[in-house]
Amino acid sequence: MAVLENIDIRDILPHRYPMLLVDRILEIEEDRIVGMKNVTANEPFFMGHFPEYPVMPGVLIVEAMAQVGGVLVLKTVPDRKSKLVLFASIEEAKFRRPVLPGDTLIIECRTLKRKETVVKMQGTAKVNGQVVAEGVVMCKLIDRPAPAEAQG
């Protein structure tokens, strides 16, 4: 049973297809979150990323980790519609095995350090209980810029 469905996630994160890489949030606690990404054969990146042997790009697995972590960060921010969570860094990234069409990616992020505008999280991605990728993700919370038409 999901804690947050896709429509709820879209209310929290600004990402949209094809860059929204979180389908559901399965668990959420104060300093821990577990999200899910169903990796389907019709993902746009598979057309050009080894089309004869489609593999989810590692950078997108890391992005999915950052998005799951972003849900955790923004869920606790009262004025989240006026904020963005930007990817600041990845450390100790390791990729253990390929993620293929049909896989269900389960992503867990745990808060390591949290300051007012910076959050550091340990991210782990698994398929069928096996670790496929891991790393330490840092995100920065900023004020959302005003839309271009409102600026000028």
Among residues 10, 15, 32, 49, which one is catalytic?
49
Alpha-carbon distance of 127 to 31, in angstroms, equals 22
**Catalytic residue status for 49:** yes
Return the number of other C-beta atoms located less than 10 Å from residue 16's C-beta: 8
What single-letter DSSP state applies at residue 50?
S
Bridge-based pairing of strands 130-143 and 104-114 is: unpaired
Bridge-based pairing of strands 83-95 and 118-127 is: unpaired
Report the catalytic residues. 49
